[in-house]
């Protein structure tokens, strides 16, 4: 079988590190320095090919109006991270995905950046802007941020990937569209506060996240790389619980809740094609989706209408 066109010939595995961080709220420079300590560990162990960090990894999540002071350009984030990596790893190459608050020409987003670092220089591959901004309960994102307008996939050395930021992943249409567009790996940076208690004293939010992510991996035959923020902000505990899930919906490795840690795994990309051959749901979806989208009974947005009224 010929490899997909988007994958380098002979590239069958991807060495991933997920960094479950506990940033100090609002302390960007301090959190960047803490990232260097993580890079020092990773650069000599040997270095991973891809590092994934959580949503709002360098500022903390619950910023409210302070987001306008702490949001940075994609170029600034990329340059700062590349400098820290080069200080520890020299010119060793690495790809990295991270969630951050973005200031794009005076418009503010909850974004995720995918970048490549080679010879110490950063190259911005893709920026995803969170489309679903929770503004209920403890969440207040849409008061301070603009939402993204498009879910795109992007090319890497290991095939096409997509990024879904936290609530993006809770809406089944998002992983569906990403998979239909060709994504073979979903990167999910998240900042999820713990809520409720399930049986055996597990937080309800952890149980629901596990079901959500394993279901998306199984349905679409993809790897899911979930990076959860940890620590406490204003009395709210972030659940961490980072994980790597294979295309059969099995958890490869999972972090404990709350604390900082680094997850490492070498994933076999051939498992994607095997999973899709064993359970060809994605092919069925591709055949049926055009009819679903052309359904004239679907509600269409009306100018000035409240989406809740559709």
pLDDT in tens, 5-58: 344 445 699 999 999 999 999 999 999 999 999 999 999 888 999 999 999 999
Q: What is the pLDDT of residue 293?
A: 84
Q: Per residue in 105-129, pLDDT tens?
A: 999 999 999 999 999 899 999 999 9
How confident is residue 244, by pLDDT bands cut at 50, 70 and 90? very high
Contacts 24+ apart (CB under 8 A), 144-149: 144/63, 144/64, 144/65, 144/67, 144/68, 144/108, 145/67, 145/101, 145/108, 145/109, 145/110, 146/107, 146/108, 146/109, 147/109, 148/109, 148/111
What percent of the chain shows pLDDT beyond 90?
A: 75
Which residue would you say has higher pLDDT here, 137 or 45? 137
Q: What is the mean pLDDT of residues 225-236?
A: 90
Q: Per residue in 193-217, pLDDT tens?
A: 876 665 567 788 888 999 999 999 9
**At residue 1, does pLDDT exceed 60?**
no
Q: How many CB atoms lie within 10 A of CB 199?
A: 7
d(CA 305, CA 18): 41
Q: What is the mean pLDDT of residues 253-269?
A: 93
How confident is residue 233, by pLDDT bands cut at 50, 70 and 90? confident
Q: What's 46's DSSP letter? A: T
Any idea where the domains of the chain sit in the sequence?
Answer: 13-286
Tokens of 67: 């987001």
Instruction: Please state which CATH class domain 13-286 belongs to.
Output: alpha beta
Contact 6, 160 (CB under 8 A): yes
Average pLDDT, the chain: 91
What percent of the chain shows pLDDT beyond 70?
A: 91
Q: Per residue in 173-191, pLDDT tens?
A: 999 999 999 999 999 999 9
């Amino acid at each position: 079988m010929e490899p997909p066109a988007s994958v380098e010939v002979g590239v069958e595995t991807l060495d991933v590190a997920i960094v479950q961080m506990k940033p100090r709220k609002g302390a960007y420079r301090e959190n960047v320095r803490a990232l260097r300590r993580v890079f020092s560990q990773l650069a000599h162990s040997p270095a991973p090919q891809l590092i994934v960090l959580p949503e709002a990894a360098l500022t903390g999540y619950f910023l409210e109006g302070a987001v306008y002071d702490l949001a940075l350009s994609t170029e600034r984030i990329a340059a700062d991270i590349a400098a820290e990596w080069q200080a520890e790893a020299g010119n060793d190459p690495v790809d990295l995905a991270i969630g951050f608050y973005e200031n794009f020409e005076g418009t503010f987003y909850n974004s995720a950046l995918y970048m490549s670092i080679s010879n110490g220089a950063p190259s911005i591959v893709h920026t995803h802007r969170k489309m679903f901004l929770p503004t209920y309960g403890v969440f207040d994102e849409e008061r301070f941020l603009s939402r993204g307008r498009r879910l795109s996939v992007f090319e890497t050395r290991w095939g096409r990937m997509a990024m879904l930021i936290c609530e993006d992943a809770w809406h089944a249409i998002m992983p569906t569209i990403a998979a239909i567009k060709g994504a073979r790996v979903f990167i999910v940076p998240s900042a999820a506060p713990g809520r409720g208690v399930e049986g055996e004293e597990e937080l309800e939010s952890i149980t629901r996240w596990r079901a959500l992510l394993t279901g998306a991996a199984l349905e679409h035959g993809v790897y899911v790389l979930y990076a959860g923020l940890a620590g406490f902000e204003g009395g709210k505990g972030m659940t961490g619980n980072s994980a790597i899930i294979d295309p059969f919906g099995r958890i490869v490795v999972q972090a404990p809740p709350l604390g900082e840690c680094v997850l490492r795994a070498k994933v076999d990309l051939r498992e994607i094609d095997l999973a899709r051959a064993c359970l060809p749901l994605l092919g069925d979806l591709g055949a049926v989706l055009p009819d679903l989208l052309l359904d004239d009974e679907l509600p269409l947005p009306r100018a000035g209408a409240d989406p809740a009224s559709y």
